[in-house]
C-alpha cells in the first residue's frame, strides 16, 4: 500500500517506479479518485457544520417558546444528506483501495532494470561445482535409496507431492533442525511455532491478497493455508505500535508451505523442485527505515551461511525490476548448484519490502519522546527451502556406487548414519551379516 500524500507530492517518482516494473503510469488515475473522495469529505464537513449550527439554535428557540419544526426538519435533512454522502464515500474509498491493493511496491534505486530473470545480476559466487561423471538427479538417487516415492504420493494426493522414507526422510528432518539451530543459536533469530491457517487480513497484509488468490489453497470455512510462514511471522505485529528500542525483531519458523502453483503449469514437473507442499525455514525481520537495507544484507548472509556450512556451491543474484516479487523493494536470490541439472536453481529469496507491508498491516514504531509514529520496514527470506536443500545435498554428495555421504554438519542429527546406501546394496550387506 502507498502513502497518498507522497503520491500527491511526487507522482512522477511513483510513475517512474511502476514503469521500471513494466506498468503504465498510475498516479493520474489514483489522484483523480483521491480528489473526488476528498471533495466528498469537504462536502460532509460543510454539512456537519450546518447541522451543528442548526442544532445549537434549537435549545434557545425552545426556551423562548418558538416553533422549532422547521429547523428540526433542516437538521434531519442534513443528517440524511451526510449519511448518503458518507455511504458514497465508502464506495469511493473502496474503489481507490482496490486500485492501490494490486499495485506492486516501488523498486529501490539500486535494483537493476530488466524484464526477466535473464536480466538479474550476479553479485557473488561461492564454491565450485564438484567434478562428476554422469551425475544422477535427485529423483533417480532417491529411487535408488528407496527413500523417495512419487507414485505413492500421487495415489493419495495427486501430482506435485512426494513421500519420503527412512534415511531420506531423516535427512530432511536433519536439515530443518540444523537450519533452525543455526539461525537461533548463531544468527539471533527467535523461533516461533505459528498458525498454518490464516484469515484474509493476514494475506492482505503481506501482499498475497487480493492479487494472488489463485496461487493459494483456501479451506471451506474461509481460512487460507499459508504459502510461506512469512505470512504468520510478519503478522505477529499486525496493527501494532512497537517500541523503537525493541527493533529489530528477528523471527524464524519451520513450517510446511502450501502453494497451488497455478501459474507454473508445465514447469518442473519432475521431482521435488516445485511442489504443492514443502517445508521451509523462514526468516523475518521487523526494523526501522534507517536499518532495513543493512538488515537485508545481514539476512542474505544468514541464508548463505547455511549453504556454506553444508559446503554446497551457490551464487547470489540481485533481482532486476522485472523479476522481483510483488511486495519487494529489493531482492537477492540465492541459487544452489544441482549437478543432476547442471544448473543453479533458487533455494532462497531475501527481500526488503520497505514500509509496503507495514502500511497494509498498520504496523508502526515509536521512539521514546516522539509524538509521531513511523511505519516499520519488513523483510523476509528463506533460510532455506528444506526440500530444495535436500535435493542439493543428495545431488552434490552422491557417490559413484549410488550412496550419498552425509555432510559433516548434519552428522549430529542423523543418529549415527554417515552415509545413505542404495536399497540393493543395503540388502546385500544385511544378507552377508545374517
- List, for residues 216-228, the tens digit of each pLDDT value: 999 999 999 999 9
> DSSP states of 154-189 as a string?
HHHH-SS--EE-HHHHHHHHHHHHHHHHHHHHTS-P
CATH code: domain of residue 88: 1.10.287.40
Residues 233 and 370 in one domain: yes
Pick from 52-66, 91-105, 333-347 the range whose average pLDDT is largest.
333-347
pLDDT of res. 65: 87
CA pair distance 106, 287, nearest whole angstrom: 19
Query: Each residue of 253-298: pLDDT tens digit?
Result: 999 999 998 666 667 778 999 999 999 999 999 999 999 999 999 9
Full residue range of the structural domain in which residue 70 is found? 4-101
C-alpha pair distances (Å), 135 with each of 248, 342, 397: 44, 9, 10
pLDDT of res. 333: 98
Q: Establish if 194 belongs to a structural domain.
A: yes
Look at strands 241-243 and 364-366 and give their pairing: parallel
Rounded to an integer, the average pLDDT of 354-371 is 96
Q: Establish if 288 belongs to a structural domain.
A: yes
Residues 195 and 259 in one domain: yes
Neighbours of 228 (CB within 10 A): 23
Q: Establish if 160 belongs to a structural domain.
A: yes
Pick from 23-27, 47-51, 430-434 the range whose average pLDDT is largest.
23-27
Task: Single out the residue in 55, 70, 101 at which a domain terminates.
Answer: 101
- At 332 the three-state DSSP class reads strand
Range in 9-18, 201-210, 424-433 with the lowest mean pLDDT = 424-433
pLDDT of res. 78: 84
The set of residues, in sequence order, having a beta carbon less than 8 Å from that of 348 and lying 6+ positions away, is 303, 333, 334, 381, 382, 383, 384, 385
**Could you tell me if 348 and 383 are in contact, meaning their C-beta atoms sit under 8 angstroms apart?**
yes
Band of pLDDT at residue 432, cut at 50, 70 and 90: very low
What's the whole-model pTM score? 0.90
Q: Establish if 433 belongs to a structural domain.
A: no
pLDDT of res. 263: 63
Residues 170 and 39 in one domain: no
Query: Each residue of 85-131: pLDDT tens digit?
Result: 888 888 888 899 999 999 999 999 999 999 999 999 999 999 999 99
Distance of CA 237 to the CA centre of its chain: 15
Residues 75 and 171 in one domain: no
Residues 45 and 145 in one domain: no
- At 408 the three-state DSSP class reads helix
**Could you tell me if 170 and 145 are in contact, meaning their C-beta atoms sit under 8 angstroms apart?**
no
Q: Mean pLDDT score of the chain, rounded to an integer? A: 94
Q: Establish if 86 belongs to a structural domain.
A: yes
Residues 42 and 180 in one domain: no
Residues 159 and 15 in one domain: no
Residues 288 and 411 in one domain: yes
Rounded to an integer, the average pLDDT of 384-394 is 98
Band of pLDDT at residue 52, cut at 50, 70 and 90: confident
Residues 39 and 73 in one domain: yes
CA pair distance 380, 372, nearest whole angstrom: 26
Q: Establish if 109 belongs to a structural domain.
A: no
Lookup: cell for 11:
507522482
Residues 147 and 42 in one domain: no
CA pair distance 10, 294, nearest whole angstrom: 26
**Could you tell me if 93 and 37 are in contact, meaning their C-beta atoms sit under 8 angstroms apart?**
yes
Rounded to an integer, the average pLDDT of 142-159 is 97
Query: What are the start-end ranges of the H helices in 146-277?
Result: 150-157, 166-185, 200-206, 230-234
Band of pLDDT at residue 347, cut at 50, 70 and 90: very high
Angle (nearest 5°) at CA 374 between 370 and 378: 140
pLDDT of res. 433: 44
Amino acid at each position: 500500500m502507498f502513502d497518498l500524500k507522497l503520491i500527491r507530492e511526487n507522482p512522477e517518482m511513483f510513475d517512474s517506479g511502476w514503469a521500471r516494473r513494466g506498468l503504465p503510469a498510475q498516479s493520474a488515475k489514483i489522484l483523480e479518485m483521491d480528489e473526488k473522495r476528498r471533495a466528498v469529505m469537504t462536502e460532509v464537513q460543510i454539512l456537519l457544520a450546518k447541522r451543528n449550527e442548526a442544532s445549537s439554535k434549537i435549545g434557545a428557540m425552545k426556551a423562548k417558546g418558538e416553533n422549532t419544526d422547521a429547523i428540526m426538519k433542516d437538521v434531519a435533512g442534513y443528517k440524511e444528506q451526510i449519511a448518503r454522502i458518507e455511504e458514497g464515500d465508502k464506495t469511493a474509498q473502496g474503489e481507490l483501495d482496490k486500485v492501490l491493493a494490486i499495485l506492486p511496491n516501488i523498486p529501490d534505486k539500486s535494483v537493476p532494470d530488466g524484464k526477466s530473470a535473464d536480466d538479474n545480476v550476479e553479485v557473488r559466487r561461492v564454491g565450485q561445482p564438484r567434478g562428476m561423471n554422469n551425475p544422477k538427479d535427485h529423483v533417480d538417487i532417491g529411487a535408488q535409496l528407496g527413500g523417495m516415492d512419487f507414485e505413492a504420493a500421487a495415489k493419495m494426493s495427486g501430482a506435485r507431492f512426494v513421500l519420503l522414507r527412512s534415511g531420506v526422510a531423516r535427512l530432511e528432518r536433519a536439515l530443518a533442525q540444523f537450519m533452525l539451530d543455526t539461525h537461533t543459536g548463531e544468527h539471533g533469530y527467535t523461533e516461533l511455532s505459528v498458525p498454518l491457517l490464516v484469515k484474509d487480513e493476514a494475506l492482505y497484509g503481506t501482499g498475497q491478497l487480493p492479487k494472488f488468490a489463485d496461487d493459494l489453497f483456501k479451506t471451506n470455512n474461509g481460512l487460507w493455508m499459508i504459502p510461506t510462514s512469512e505470512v504468520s511471522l510478519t503478522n505477529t505485529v499486525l496493527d501494532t505500535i512497537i517500541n523503537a528500542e525493541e527493533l529489530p525483531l528477528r523471527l524464524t519458523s519451520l513450517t510446511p508451505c502450501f502453494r497451488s502453483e497455478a501459474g507454473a503449469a508445465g514447469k518442473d514437473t519432475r521431482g521435488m523442485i516445485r511442489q504443492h507442499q514443502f517445508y521451509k525455514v523462514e526468516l523475518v525481520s521487523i526494523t526501522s527505515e534507517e536499518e532495513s537495507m543493512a538488515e537485508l544484507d545481514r539476512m542474505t548472509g544468514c541464508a548463505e551461511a547455511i549453504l556454506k556450512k553444508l559446503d554446497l556451491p551457490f551464487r547470489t543474484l540481485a533481482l532486476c525490476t522485472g523479476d522481483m516479487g510483488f511486495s519487494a523493494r529489493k531482492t537477492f536470490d540465492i541459487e544452489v548448484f544441482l549437478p543432476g541439472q547442471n544448473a543453479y536453481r533458487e533455494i532462497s529469496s531475501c527481500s526488503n519490502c520497505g514500509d509496503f507491508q507495514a502500511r497494509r498491516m498498520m504496523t508502526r514504531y515509536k521512539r521514546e519522546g516522539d509524538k509521531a509514529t513511523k511505519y516499520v520496514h519488513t523483510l523476509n527470506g528463506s533460510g532455506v527451502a528444506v526440500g530444495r536443500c535436500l535435493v542439493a545435498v543428495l545431488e552434490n554428495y552422491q557417490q559413484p556406487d549410488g550412496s550419498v555421504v552425509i555432510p559433516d554438519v548434519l552428522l549430529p542429527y542423523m543418529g549415527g548414519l554417515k552415509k545413505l546406501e542404495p536399497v540393493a546394496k543395503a540388502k546385500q550387506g544385511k544378507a552377508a551379516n545374517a
